[in-house]
Amino acid sequence: MLRSRIIGCGSYLPEKVLTNDDLVKTVDTSNAWIVERTGITQRHIAAKDELTSDLALAAAERAMKAAGIGADELDLLVLATSTPDNTFPATAAKVQARLGMYHGTAFDVQAVCAGFICALTVADNFLQSGQAKTAMVIGAETYSRILDWNDRTTCVLFGDGAGAAVLSAEEMPGNPSDQGVLAVRMHSDGRHYNALYVDGGVSSSQTAGYLRMQGKEVYRHAVVNLAAVAGEALDAAGLTSDEIDWLVPHQANLRIMTAIQQRLDLPREKMVVTVDRHANTSSASIPLALVEAIEDGRIKTGNLVLMEAIGGGFVWGSALVRW
């Protein structure tokens, strides 16, 4: 059977770092409160002239280098973002042109913090059905532009960044020891639209708006839904949680991540954590964490990697990948 194998990853973080102590100077908060409730100590913030497409391009170029391919080999580019450069065209179109990819197709997907899982799912389906051979999947965000920097309940939680993965369609025997994407699962429940949203938008207000969130509601749904969808991917692949080598969760906050790790009965050392230094970078958080664990030698060929994420909507999903 055809499977999508991840053949290279790359990431990019803006240079500017904003620590909790920096935030204390402008918002009524404390390092102790932020660390205790979220595990976050700092976040990266894009420069004024740095757009989501710039972050995406840098991550994509690094992923192509790691994969050892040129832009002419890509025939699909799926970019997950909820902070696009413009209302249209897709930010993917700009990245496609700047990469020098002049054929195939490129488009954005909007699944907020579940964006990378959604983009991976779309690309996996294109590759498995034979509609594309080599795909670039990107999660890129500039949340600093949609934060209300006077709202301490949200502005401390997020950061900017981008991550990317190159996938290649390859023939495999079709069993759980295959390399590549073994299973993906996605859900959404639009009844929770107002639990986490941006209070602007072209059609509703002709403004960009600011992120608003009912934190406790998000927390409650995140833990239940993520544990369930992680189990679904494992079941679909005929594997169990004790076979997972690395849990690479969406880095929303350490308490949600730890709750999932415990529900899966995994040792703490098997969870990749970057939220402390990156904060929540929405669709970029999983590929940013993947790159860190690949580059420091934790994720190795043959390892079983489980990713999961939830975002506004709510929309949530998981992906199980044999490295």
Residue 156 in contact with ligand ACO, rule: CB under 6 A: yes
Least separation in angstroms between CB 135 and ligand ACO = 25
Residue 33 in contact with ligand ACO, rule: CB under 6 A: yes
What CA–CA distance (Å, rounded) separates 155 from 149? 5
**H helices present in the chain, as ranges:** 20-24, 31-38, 52-67, 91-99, 115-128, 152-155, 215-237, 254-263, 275-278, 285-295
Least separation in angstroms between CB 50 and ligand ACO = 22
CB atoms within 10 A of CB 12: 26
The tokens describing 59, both together, are: 């991550």
Count residues contacting ligand ACO (CB under 6 A)? 25
The tokens describing 210, both together, are: 């600011």
Which amino acid, one-letter code, is at 273? V
Query: What's the residue count for the chain?
Result: 323
What CA–CA distance (Å, rounded) separates 105 from 96? 9
Question: In angstroms, what is the C-alpha Rg of the chain?
Answer: 18
Residue 227 in contact with ligand ACO, rule: CB under 6 A: no
Question: Could you tell me if 198 and 211 are in contact, meaning their C-beta atoms sit under 8 angstroms apart?
Answer: yes
Least separation in angstroms between CB 226 and ligand ACO = 8
The tokens describing 316, both together, are: 């949530």
Question: Could you tell me if 50 and 59 are in contact, meaning their C-beta atoms sit under 8 angstroms apart?
Answer: no
Residue 113 in contact with ligand ACO, rule: CB under 6 A: yes
Q: Which stretch binds ligand ACO (CB under 6 A): 96-104, 163-171, 233-241, 249-257?
A: 249-257
Q: What is the 3-state secondary structure (H, E, C) of 76-99?
A: EEEEECCCCCCCCCCHHHHHHHHH
Least separation in angstroms between CB 57 and ligand ACO = 24
- Give SS3 for 237: helix
Nearer to ligand ACO, 106 or 146 (CB): 146
- Positions annotated as catalytic residues are 113, 250, 280
* Interacting residue with ligand ACO among 37, 133, 187, 263 (CB under 6 A): 37
- Displacement of CA 249 from its chain's centroid (Å): 9
Least separation in angstroms between CB 79 and ligand ACO = 18
Least separation in angstroms between CB 210 and ligand ACO = 14
Residue 255 in contact with ligand ACO, rule: CB under 6 A: yes
* Interacting residue with ligand ACO among 4, 11, 20, 38 (CB under 6 A): 38
Residue 286 in contact with ligand ACO, rule: CB under 6 A: no
Nearer to ligand ACO, 201 or 238 (CB): 201
Residue 111 in contact with ligand ACO, rule: CB under 6 A: no
Q: Give residue number: closest CB to ligand ACO.
A: 215
What CA–CA distance (Å, rounded) separates 219 from 157? 13
Nearer to ligand ACO, 93 or 155 (CB): 155
- Contacts (CB under 6 A) with ligand ACO, residues 162-221: 196, 213, 215-216, 218-219
Residue 230 in contact with ligand ACO, rule: CB under 6 A: no
Residue 281 in contact with ligand ACO, rule: CB under 6 A: no
- Displacement of CA 67 from its chain's centroid (Å): 19
**H helices present in 106-214, as ranges:** 115-128, 152-155
* Footprint on this chain of ligand ACO (rule: CB under 6 A): 29, 33-34, 37-38, 113, 152-153, 156-157, 196, 213, 215-216, 218-219, 222, 250, 252-253, 255-256, 280, 310-311
